[in-house]
Amino acid sequence: MTQPVLSLRNLQVEFKTRRERLRAIDGISFDIAKGEVLGVVGESGAGKSVTGSAVVGLIDPPGRIAGGEIHLSGLRIDNLPPEEMRKIRGKRIGMIFQDPLTSLNPLYRIGDQIVETIRTHIGMSEQAARKRAIDLLAEVGIPAPEKRIDGYPHEFSGGMRQRVVIALAICAEPELIIADEPTTALDVSVQAQIIALIKRLGRDHGTAVMLVTHDMGVIAETCDRVAVMYSGRIAEIGPVQDVIRNPLHPYAKGLMGAIPTLTGEDLRLVQIPGSMPRLSAIPPGCPFNPRCAFAFERCRVERPEPIQRGAQAVACHLYDSSLKESAA
């Protein structure tokens, strides 16, 4: 087994309020291999973006990593001083955010921003860095990069700005890229181009990608594996086609059943009753139990741990073989 690029072990993230500590991430574990794209999917508030922020060291107070470990190619990074983490962020870990305008300074030409990033992390001469910036813009599909490199962010469309952000993310040839909803604000045709670009990163550069999204279409098209999150925990993780075609967890089944089919065979889509609990009101046991049609007493008192079922792992008491044996 080769060493994973990213390894999370029992990661916990808390936010302290005046009254209590709220657990936003509650003991999640997964690996991402070199060249692999892992999709992280779930409703708003599931903890997807907080997980990505924890990996890149951008959890601001009153939030903090309360437990667990994060390893980047074997190096533990969750306990590094801010200065050391700043050197890793941008060089070894690239970031692609939902809104490219939050990543680009509107007062500077895009070429200056890419050149500065290259020189900060690689130490090239300005001339060599500018040539590399032009090559990167061409690689991500910016037409006439020799001219567009001197443009300002407002002179680019949303899709083109997102390409610039991807060029920024890969300019130091990072081992890992965290992509947080990178296609949400884009047209469908532009989404497809950005998806193809992210897939090519893994194939051509061997970059590991953690793709955070709520769009199962993007997951199906882009990812090798998918982790379904609910209330700060991983409900199910496995190869993307296995989870889409044969979801095991009741929540994952509900998500997949809510996707309309092109054939229109299903007259009604599956509806998951209720809504995700607030951080201050997560129920004991399995956090999904108030919305689950299959919940029984154990679900309300005991937290389910991941159970391996073939290539998939599911955190659900329904798959506990010891329960069936004791019932028999």
Nearest to 116 by CA among 106, 135, 129: 129
d(CA 29, CA 8): 5
- Residue 17 is encoded by which pair of tokens? 């309020």
CB 127 within 8 A of CB 93: no
> In what helix (H) or strand (E) does residue 196 lie, and over which residues does it extend?
helix 188-200
Q: How many CB atoms neighbour CB 76 within 10 A?
A: 12
Q: What is the pLDDT at residue 323?
A: 61
Q: What is the pLDDT at residue 274?
A: 87
- Residue 191 is encoded by which pair of tokens? 């989404």
Backbone angles phi, psi at 326, to 5 degrees: -70, -30
Q: From the CA atom positions of the chain, what is the Rg in Å?
A: 21
> In what helix (H) or strand (E) does residue 154 lie, and over which residues does it extend?
none
- Residue 141 is encoded by which pair of tokens? 């599909």
d(CA 245, CA 242): 5
- Residue 262 is encoded by which pair of tokens? 């092109």
Q: What is the pLDDT at residue 61?
A: 86
Amino acid of residue 328: A
Q: What is the pLDDT at residue 328?
A: 37
Nearest to 167 by CA among 191, 200, 211, 190: 200
Q: What is the pLDDT at residue 255?
A: 87
**pLDDT tens, residue by residue, 272-298:** 888 899 998 999 999 999 999 999 999
Nearest to 121 by CA among 109, 134, 133, 110: 133
Point out the residues of the chain with pLDDT beneath 70: 1, 261-267, 322-328
